[in-house]
């Protein structure tokens, strides 16, 4: 799973899609494409965005749900938490303050 996660995060377009889902979760493919085009000036096809979403979904970063004809995409940050738990940083004390 970690390989899929790092592969998904390696691409700048996929990171932009994650940024957009962090800002507004529950978007359709149409909404994501519109935001990438208008806000980020990315000239990417719907099929290209769909392929990026498939990689993000395989990595567990995006979850989908269907409501009628629509498929909504939601950000899932749980895999990112797993990375931070895998390599925890030791608590380092701050600089010592002089005693008066």
Q: What is the pLDDT of residues 12-33, one digit of tens each?
A: 999 999 999 999 999 999 999 9
What integer pLDDT is reported at residue 84 of this predicted model? 78
> For the chain, which ranges sit under pLDDT 50?
none
Give the residue from 70, 51, 88, 39 showing the smallest Cα distance to 62: 51
How much is the pLDDT for 24? 96
Amino acid 52: pLDDT: 97
DSSP state of 69: T
- Predicted pLDDT at 53: 98
**Beta bridge mates, 64:** 73
Alpha helices in the chain (DSSP H): 2-10, 12-23, 29-40, 46-58, 78-86
Residue 75: the pLDDT is 97
């Amino acid at each position: 799973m970690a390989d899929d996660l790092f592969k998904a995060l390696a691409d700048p377009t996929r990171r932009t899609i994650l940024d957009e889902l962090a800002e507004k979760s529950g978007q359709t493919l149409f909404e994501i494409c519109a935001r990438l085009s208008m806000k980020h000036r990315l000239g990417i096809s719907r099929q290209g965005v769909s392929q990026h979403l498939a990689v993000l979904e395989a990595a567990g970063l995006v979850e989908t749900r269907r409501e009628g004809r629509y498929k909504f995409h939601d950000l899932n940050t749980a895999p990112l938490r797993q990375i931070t738990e895998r390599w925890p940083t030791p608590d380092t004390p701050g600089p010592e303050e002089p005693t008066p």
